[in-house]
Amino acid sequence: MFFISKKGGIFMNYETVNQALDAMHHLEETAAAYEHVMGVTYLDAASAAPKGSYEGRGKTIGVMSQIIYDLIANPENEELLSYLEENISELSAIDRRKVEALRKEYDQINKIPAEEYAAYEVLLNEAQAVWEQAKNNNDFASFAPYLEKIVAFNRKKAAYFHPEMQPYDALLNEYEEGLTMQTLDAFFAQLREVIVPLVAKIGQAAPVDDSFLKQNYPIDKQRLFSDYLMEVMGLDRNYCAIAESEHPFTINFNNKDVRITTHYHEDMVASSMYSVIHEGGHALYELGCGDEYNYSFLSGGVSMGIHESQSRFYENIIGRSLSFVKLIYPKLQELFPEQLGSVTAEQFYRAVNKAEPSLIRTEADDLTYTLHVMVRYEIEKQLIDGTLCVENVPAEWNRLYKEYLGVDVPNDTLGCLQDSHWSGGTIGYFPSYALGSAYGPQLLAVMEQEVGSVDKLIEEGNLSIVTRWLKEKIHRHASFHKPGYLFEMVCGKFDAAYYTDYLVKKYTDLYNL
């Protein structure tokens, strides 16, 4: 039986709510399957694929992108959505959120012309390979035309999605719903007010010796250490694998298949160590998502800010604590007896917490980290509002590193080419790192009210209690709750003072300020 919709007189094909729900669930599973294939292709490109393979992969990605675009942009989805929206009161809470998620995606994707969407996916695949080469050869000029096109597309995307917003606000909104430049300008100013004088004080204090971290640490041994760290973190290798890539990342296919990557440096043992812990934090989030959200529009972590709050919680609050270093130190000494045999756990702890303005964001300490984020934020804002052109990015980068961190950038490899985000088309993401960092100490405060001292749990080797708490409060909800609501549900109103207090206490103790 057909009937006429109240909205616009479209002939609807659905006779019952269950029939429409079946159609939506089928659509979700189909979309999840395509995304799975695209995800494996991305992982392969970044880890195992030979350098010259991007052309064929580009064709595959182009075709697949078109298929995904058609699947979501399909006008029949309008019928499906209208029918479900008319009968919304009959749906479960989960299905209601799914309808909302599909509505958002459908409306957004229909705002991007199909050929622009597919061309952009192809561009990103090429940009990834070009960026890697440009970074290796310190050759910004070869990457610049790609970055120009990526910026241009992002400006268009912002206008397509949210013509009522300032373009950069629209991009921020993609990663953290509701986040604006106004909020960030105030948040970053509050951080700068505490961090800059603290960094200056530390500059006057007795320097920390971290020279032993820069000895030769054979990569095969570092790989064994990664396995051990994953075990300590409770990452089940039946469901979580590790690979190697230029830039560490996590990719999830469902809650029983999550991959992390790391990058080994022979002369920097702490680099991969903290990458594995950071990506491991992302992976625990994905692995902890409820089964009911698999293969659906609500699968996986809800936002970049919440995701980074999990990864940086493990990396810094857990991984850089004295109790954690003591826990893993026997294994480190066993693997690297020549390098660390005469170094104590306390010395190692101080070394991995050394605060010093530096060039590389991913290697930065907990204290100066957000200054690196602020540089990227300022550059992205200017690129998107058109006050900075791409060719001037290196100069602006170097200027801001001098202003915020007081360091001279010797070349673009160690400067504006260091991160993979822009080549991946990700503009508006960096601020979520800072937000995620700032969420951590507030989460810790609430967690400790319920489970007691986290330091004590780590000392006792009870890290699983911390993970269980995070799973219960955050992970299991996948993308069901909106990020701001989820955080407030657990912690109450966000207050950056938790973060600044944490930094002041930690570094005052470490450096006897």
Dihedral, CA atoms, 64, 65, 68, 74, nearest 10 degrees? -120
Least CB distance from residue 270 to Zn ion, whole Å?
A: 17
Q: Please, which residue, 311 or 368, has the CB nearer to Zn ion?
A: 311
- In this chain, which residue has its C-beta nearest to Zn ion? 311
Name the token pair of 173: 């909104």
Q: Please, which residue, 255 or 311, has the CB nearer to Zn ion?
A: 311
Least CB distance from residue 435 to Zn ion, whole Å?
A: 12
Q: Please, which residue, 134 or 276, has the CB nearer to Zn ion?
A: 276
Q: Please, which residue, 311 or 467, has the CB nearer to Zn ion?
A: 311
Q: Please, which residue, 155 or 475, has the CB nearer to Zn ion?
A: 475
Q: Please, which residue, 91 or 277, has the CB nearer to Zn ion?
A: 277
Q: Please, which residue, 245 or 311, has the CB nearer to Zn ion?
A: 311
Least CB distance from residue 249 to Zn ion, whole Å?
A: 8
Least CB distance from residue 434 to Zn ion, whole Å?
A: 12
Q: Please, which residue, 14 or 313, has the CB nearer to Zn ion?
A: 313
**Cβ atoms of 210 and 305 closer than 8 Å:** no
**Residue among 296, 293, 302 nearest 489 (CA):** 302
Longest dimension (CA), the chain: 81
Name the token pair of 300: 């996986």
Least CB distance from residue 282 to Zn ion, whole Å?
A: 6
Convert residues 255-294 into a mask of x (bound to Zn ion by CB under 5 A) and - (unbound). ----------------------------------------
**Contact set for Zn ion, span 310-349 (CB under 5 A):** 311
Binding-site size, Zn ion (CB under 5 A): 1
Q: Please, which residue, 398 or 437, has the CB nearer to Zn ion?
A: 437
Active-site residue flag, 279: yes
Across-strand partners of 3? 12
DSSP, collapsed to helix, strand or coil, labels residue 363 as helix
**Contact set for Zn ion, span 118-157 (CB under 5 A):** none
CA distance 233 to 227: 10
Who's near 384: CB < 8 A, 6+ residues apart? 151, 154, 155, 158, 167, 168, 171, 427
DSSP, collapsed to helix, strand or coil, labels residue 496 as coil
Least CB distance from residue 459 to Zn ion, whole Å?
A: 26
CA distance 499 to 439: 7
Least CB distance from residue 364 to Zn ion, whole Å?
A: 13
CA distance 420 to 146: 13
Amino acid at site 252: N
DSSP, collapsed to helix, strand or coil, labels residue 366 as coil
Element (H, E) at 56: helix 54-73
* DSSP class per residue in 182-204: HHHHHHHHHHHHHHHHHHHHHHH
CA distance 393 to 397: 6
Of the residues 28, 78, 176, 279, which is catalytic?
279
Least CB distance from residue 146 to Zn ion, whole Å?
A: 23
**Contact set for Zn ion, span 298-317 (CB under 5 A):** 311
Name the token pair of 482: 């909106």
Least CB distance from residue 226 to Zn ion, whole Å?
A: 16
Question: What are the two backbone dihedrals, phi and then psi, of residue 454, each rounded to the nearest 5 degrees?
Answer: -70, -35
What's the DSSP call for residue 358? -
Amino acid at site 12: M
Least CB distance from residue 437 to Zn ion, whole Å?
A: 10
**Residue among 343, 350, 349, 369 nearest 358 (CA):** 369
In the chain, count H helices and then E strands: 21, 5
Q: Please, which residue, 130 or 375, has the CB nearer to Zn ion?
A: 375
Give the N- to C-terminal CA distance of the chain in Å, as an integer.
77
Name the token pair of 495: 């207050």
Name the token pair of 360: 């590389």
Cα–Cα separations (whole angstroms), residue 449 to 157, 445, 467: 43, 7, 15
Alpha-carbon Rg for the chain, nearest whole angstrom, is 24
Binding residues for Zn ion (CB under 5 A): 311
What positions carry a catalytic annotation?
279
